[in-house]
Amino acid sequence: GMRVADARRAESLAGQAGRKLQEHLNRGLSGEVIQADFDRLELAAFELERRVLAARDAQKRCGGPAELTGEIEQFHQRSNSWQDYV
């Protein structure tokens, strides 16, 4: 459960980074700002992936609740989507 909570927080941070990037793109900010936003989003996406893998490992070792499996997989898909976007 703790690892899934970590993944939830990482997913939230990735979402915030994505929204910030979108806002800055819409406002037409400079290339340096946009590059920093892309870098932030990339870092958040990799952190989400790391947290997802940790949650998967913990669930395998501890036999956590089955309902967490679906949530973990959703986080994994979001991580892949963010990485593909970046």
- Tens of pLDDT, residue by residue over 36-79, are 999 999 999 999 999 999 999 998 888 767 778 889 999 999 99
Distance between CA 64 and CA 72 in Å, rounded?
A: 11
Question: Rounded to two decimals, what is the model's pTM?
Answer: 0.86
Distance between CA 55 and CA 72 in Å, rounded?
A: 7
The tokens for 80 are: 């892949």
Residue 55 exposure: Cα atoms within 13 Å on the Cβ side = 29
Number of neighbours of residue 28 by Cβ within 10 angstroms: 8
